[in-house]
Homo-oligomer: A and B are copies of this chain.
Amino acid sequence: MSTSPAPRMTKQRAAIMDVLSKSEEFRSAQAWHDTLRHDGSSVGLATVYRSLQSLAEAGQVDAVVTDSGETLYRRCGAEDTHHHHLRCRSCGAAHDIEVPEFERWAEQLGVKLGFTGIDHTVEITGICRDCAAQGR
């Protein structure tokens, strides 16, 4: 794991983290930029992109790519969200993932078949890009 140097706390970065903290919605970098301007602080668009990107890498914000290719960000919803993992069978590296429809689907299936107290286990495994590249 590469230990990247701690990022400087600039007023722009602070402003970005501040607006992020005020909403848990997923918004595009450009939308966050607009929000910032409405709030008075004028942070450059490029800076918003860079900050959201680095925050996402640091795991401070969640990022998803829409079907149209736009990347949306929101403050990281702490630990409360139930999630699963996609784990590499070779090196063990794991990604946290969410299975959007699944929870509800399982619940409904249970009701349909007369089951209550539905619980589930979902494990997804594969070989990550790095391991595949090294033939492991």
List chain A positions with a Cβ less than 8 A from chain B: 65-67, 69-71, 86, 88-89, 95, 97, 99, 101-102, 105-106, 109-110, 112-129, 132
Contacts and interface: CB of A to CB of B under 8 A. Distances in A.
Contacts of A128: 113-115
A86 B66 CA distance: 16
A116 B127 contact: yes
B95 A113 contact: yes
Nearest to A122: B122
Contact of A69 (B71, B109, B117, B120): B71
B125 A122 contact: no
Contacts of A132: 114, 116
7 contacts: A65-B69, A86-B110, A99-B105, A113-B128, A114-B129, A116-B132, A118-B125
